[in-house]
Structure 1
Amino acid sequence: MKALPTAPQEKPPGKRMQNQRIQNAVPHFSLSCFPWKKMAGLLFICTYIVDASAFRIQRMESTENCQDHTTYFKEFVALKGEPVILKCPSFTFKHLDCSNHPCNLTWSKNDSKTITPGGDEEPRIWAQGDALWFLPASLEDSGQYICILRNSSYCADVSIHLRVTEKTDVTVIVYKQILFTFTSGKLVCPDLEDFIQKETDLELKWYKDFVPLDEDNAKFKSLKGTHFLYISSVSSKDSGNYICEMSFTHGGTQYNITRMIQLQTFDQEKRVSPLIVFPDQKTTLAALDSKLILPCKVFIGSSKHLDTDVGWLANDTYVDIIYKHGRVTKGERLEIVENDENYIEVPLIFDPVRVIDFYTDFKCEALNSYGRQVLPTRVKQGASSFPWKIAAIPVALTCLILGGLCMHKCWKRRAGNGYAIAKL
C-alpha cells in the first residue's frame, strides 16, 4: 500500500538568511547616504582657507603681541643683480624707549622665518643694524619684508614692499627732480649714501636718454667726489630721463648701482607756485587694520614756507571735517631744505586702515597766492596683518559641525529603516 504523499515541510532558515535579517534590523553607517558633492565643495573651501592661513602663521607668532602695526607708504624697486639696502623707518618707533630699555630689531620676509645677521661667511641676504642688505638682489627677493622692534614692554613692526625687476626695466625706477629754465642747476644721483665708501673715490657715469654724456660738454659737468650733475643755463630741451651709474665693491666683488632721474623743467614764473612731487604713484599699498603714514611732499622753490598751505581731502572734503573721531588725521607740517630748494611735507595718518579707505578718493592739496595743485591718490589693499590663524578656527569648527549634522541625519534615517524592518 502506497503511502500518501505528504506536503513538503518548510526548511528552517539558514544562517546566511538570519545574518541578512540581523544586518537589516541593526542601524549602521552607509556612505551612500552622504551628499558627496556638497560635502566635497565644503571640504575644498575649508581646506583652502586653512591652508591660506598657514602662510601667515609665522607673522602671527612674531607680531601678534605688537601694539603697533605700520605699512610703509613707499614701494622699493630694485634691479636684478644690483645691491639693495632696505632700511627700517625710524619714524614709526616713537613710542619705543630704547635708551632705558634695550631694543631688539629683527627682519622676516613674507611671514617666513627670521633673517639672521651676517657673520664671517655672509649669505647673500643679511641684516646689519636697522638695514637689510641684498648682495645682490634677485627676482625671487620680491615680496613683503617686516622689521620688528621690541623691548621688554613694547613692540612695533613695519611692513615694507620690495619689487625686483630685470635690468631692462630700469624705467620703472624713477626719481623725479625739478629745475627751472634760464638758471644753473644740478641733478642729484639719489640713495647712494650707504654705498659711498670714500668721497674721494666717488665717480659717476651719466647718461641722458640712454646716451652717455660727453665729458667735454660744457653744459653738463660731473665732478669727481660728488654725486651731482651740474647743468648750466637750463632749457626746456634738457627735460628727459637721466641715468647715473656707480661702482660698489664688497668682499672683493664689484657691483653696479643704477638710478634713473626724470627731470622736469619749468619756466621762471612757476618757481614760486607749489608743485607736488610725492605721492609719485596713483595707489599706495596698505594692510588692513595696520597704521599707514602717507606723506605729501610739495616743492615750493625759492618761495617762503609760510606762503604755502598743504592739506588733505577725502572725497573733496577736508579730513578733519569728515573724520571727526580722528581715525584719519593730517600730521605735523615739516619744512625741508634739499639742494638749496624748499619743500613742505605733511603726512596723512591712518590709524588704523579700514575697508572703507579702499573706496575713498584722497587728494593732497597745495595752495599759495601764486597757484594751486591737487594730486589724487588711492589706498589699495595689500598684505593683511589680520590674524588669519584665529579666523581659521571658527571656519574649521563650522566644517566639523556641518559634517557632524550630516552624519547624525544619515544615522537617524538608517536607524529608522532598520527598526521598521525588524518590526515587520
Structure 2
Amino acid sequence: MHGLFFVLVACTAGTSAFRLQQIKSTGKDHTVFFKHYYELHGEPVVLKCPSPRYKHLDFSALTPNITWYKNGSKTMISGKDEDPRIWAKGDALLFFPAMLEDSGVYICTRRNSSYCAEVAIHLTVVEKRAAREIAYLQILFTFTSGKIVCPELWDFTPNRTSLELKWYKDALPLEDDNEKFIILKGSTSLIMTSVLPTDAGYYTCKMSFPFEGAMYEVTRTIQLETIITPIIVYPTQKTTSAALGSKMTLPCKVFVGLSSHVHTDVEWLANDTIVDVVYKQSRVTEGERQEIVENGENFIEVPLIFDSVEEVDFYTDFTCLAQNRYGYQFDCLFGIIVIIIRICKNNVKQC
C-alpha cells in the first residue's frame, strides 16, 4: 500500500508537478521523493524521514538537521508542547494518535551547508470501518503451506522478541490451538499448514503498544488471495490426427479454479517458439483468448488454428503453455504447466 518513487529537481516552494531529471552536483542540489502511508483513525503513526542515496550524494552522512512542515503551512512542527498529539523526534514525525484531519502531505528536509534533501510524505487517515479499503494484498498458493505477514510494524517493535500479535479471520479471532493456523510468538508471521481456496479473505493483526503511560492499538488488515497452479484439462492426449490439407482447430483449455483469469497466461508455441514467428504467413495462428466460468470455476481457452495442415506440421512440436503470474512489477512465475502435441497423419497410428 506504500508507493515510493524518486524525482530529482531543484528545491522550490509551491511546486505541484515534477519532471524526472538528473542534474550535476553543484553544491546546491536537492532531492525530492514521495511515499504514501495509509493509516487508521485513532491509531499511532510514525512517519520516517528517509536518507536517500545517489551516486554523487550520500545523505546518510549529513549532519542530522531535520525540519518538518505540513504542506501549505509555514509553521514548523517541532516539540510536543505545541500539539500533544503530533511532534517531531529525530528523523520521525509521531502521531499519538492520528486523526482524520491529519491527512495531507508532510515535508521533511535534511540539510547541511552543502546539500538539501527534501522528502514529501503523503499521509491518508481513514475511519476504522474502512480498513479493508487500505488492506495489504498478499498471495498464497493453494494446497501448500504458507504464511501471511503483519506488515509495517517495526517502528513500534524495537524489541522483536517480545512481539505479541492477535490474529483475526473475517473479524473472528484465531486461537493458538488451531490446527490450521500457527501463531509464532515474537514473529509477525501467521503460518497456514495447508492453504485452501476458502482461506481467501481478510485477516487482521493487532498489537498493543504502550507509550508514555497510555496504551494504543496498532492494526493491519491483509487481503489474502489464493491462487491455484493452472491445470490443462484439454487436450489430454499428446497426439492428434489430421489430414493433409485439412483445416483444424486445436483448443487448449486451462482450469484456474477460483483464481482470477488475469493472473494466468496461456499461449501456443511451435518448437518452443512463438507461433507467429514460426508461421509468418499466418497459415497457423493463435486464436482469441476466451475466459470462461463454469459452475463458479474459472477456465481459459486459447485455440490453435490451422488454415491448412501441411507436411511440415507433422514434424513440429506444438506446445500449450499455461503460466500463472502475479504482480506485473515483479514478473514472477508462480506456476507453469505444459503439454506438447504432435500432429499425426490420419493413416499413421503412432507418431
TM-score when normalising by structure 1: 0.46
Query: Using the alignment, how far apart are the partners of 1:162 and 1:177 within structure 2?
Result: 22
For 1:43, the equivalent position in structure 2 comes to none
- Pairs within 5 Å for 1:164-313: 164-268=125-229
Q: Are the structure 2 counterparts of residues 148 and 96 from structure 1 closer, same or farther at C-alpha, using a change threshold of 3 Å? A: farther
Q: Is the 8 A contact 1:66 1:157 kept in 2?
A: no
Query: Using the alignment, how far apart are the partners of 2:146 and 2:329 within structure 1?
Result: 27
Query: Using the alignment, how far apart are the partners of 1:241 and 1:181 within structure 2?
Result: 16
Q: Are the structure 2 counterparts of residues 193 and 71 from structure 1 closer, same or farther at C-alpha, using a change threshold of 3 Å? A: same
For 1:70, the equivalent position in structure 2 comes to 32
Return the match for 1:366 from 308, 317, 331: 331
Return the match for 2:110 from 149, 152, 173: 149
Q: Give CA deviations for 1:332-352 in whole Å, capped at 9, x if unaligned.
A: xxxxxxxxxxxx99xxxxxxx
Q: Are the structure 2 counterparts of residues 168 and 101 from structure 1 closer, same or farther at C-alpha, using a change threshold of 3 Å? A: closer
- Pairs within 5 Å for 1:39-188: 59=13, 67-72=29-34, 74-91=35-52, 95-97=56-58, 102-112=63-73, 113-118=75-80, 123-188=84-149
Q: Are the structure 2 counterparts of residues 103 and 256 from structure 1 closer, same or farther at C-alpha, using a change threshold of 3 Å? A: closer
Write 1 or 2 for the structure with the bigger share of helix.
Answer: 1
Query: Using the alignment, how far apart are the partners of 1:69 and 1:144 within structure 2?
Result: 16
How far apart are 1:175 and its partner, in Å?
0.9
Q: Give CA deviations for 1:150-192 in whole Å, capped at 9, x if unaligned.
A: 1101112121111111121111221111111221111111111
The code of the aligned residue for 1:228 comes to S
What secondary structure, in the 3-state scheme, does the structure 1 residue paired with 2:130 have? helix
Structure 1 unaligned segments of length 5 or more: list them.
1-57, 271-343, 346-362, 372-424
Query: Using the alignment, how far apart are the partners of 1:369 and 1:204 within structure 2?
Result: 29
- Pairs within 5 Å for 1:295-374: 366=331
Query: Using the alignment, how far apart are the partners of 2:177 and 2:114 within structure 1?
Result: 60
Q: Is the 8 A contact 2:28 2:114 kept in 1?
A: no
Superposition RMSD in Å:
3.4
Q: Are the structure 2 counterparts of residues 59 and 92 from structure 1 closer, same or farther at C-alpha, using a change threshold of 3 Å? A: farther
What secondary structure, in the 3-state scheme, does the structure 2 residue paired with 1:75 have? strand
Query: Using the alignment, how far apart are the partners of 2:161 and 2:331 within structure 1?
Result: 40
How far apart are 1:95 and its partner, in Å?
4.7
Largest Rg, 1 or 2? 1
Query: Using the alignment, how far apart are the partners of 1:101 and 1:199 within structure 2?
Result: 29
Query: Using the alignment, how far apart are the partners of 2:57 and 2:146 within structure 1?
Result: 41
How far apart are 1:228 and its partner, in Å?
1.2
Q: Are the structure 2 counterparts of residues 168 and 102 from structure 1 closer, same or farther at C-alpha, using a change threshold of 3 Å? A: same
Q: Give CA deviations for 1:184-236 in whole Å, capped at 9, x if unaligned.
A: 11111111111114334322111111222233220012122222111011111
Write 1 or 2 for the structure with the bigger share of strand.
Answer: 2
The code of the aligned residue for 2:68 comes to W
Query: Using the alignment, how far apart are the partners of 2:188 and 2:330 within structure 1?
Result: 32
How far apart are 1:90 and its partner, in Å?
2.4
Which moves more between the two structures, 220-229 or 109-118? 109-118
Query: Using the alignment, how far apart are the partners of 1:165 and 1:99 within structure 2?
Result: 33
Number of residues paired by the alignment?
221
For 1:409, the equivalent position in structure 2 comes to none
The code of the aligned residue for 1:366 comes to D
Query: Using the alignment, how far apart are the partners of 2:140 and 2:28 within structure 1?
Result: 44
Query: Using the alignment, how far apart are the partners of 1:135 and 1:125 within structure 2?
Result: 7
For 1:299, the equivalent position in structure 2 comes to none
How far apart are 1:263 and its partner, in Å?
1.0
Q: Give CA deviations for 1:122-157 in whole Å, capped at 9, x if unaligned.
A: 831112222111011011111110111111011121
The code of the aligned residue for 1:107 comes to W
For 1:281, the equivalent position in structure 2 comes to none
What secondary structure, in the 3-state scheme, does the structure 1 residue paired with 2:106 have? strand
How far apart are 1:101 and its partner, in Å?
5.5
Query: Using the alignment, how far apart are the partners of 2:65 and 2:78 within structure 1?
Result: 12
What secondary structure, in the 3-state scheme, does the structure 1 residue paired with 2:52 have? helix
Identity %: 51
Q: Are the structure 2 counterparts of residues 201 and 223 from structure 1 closer, same or farther at C-alpha, using a change threshold of 3 Å? A: same
Q: Is the 8 A contact 1:78 1:163 kept in 2?
A: yes
How far apart are 1:366 and its partner, in Å?
3.2
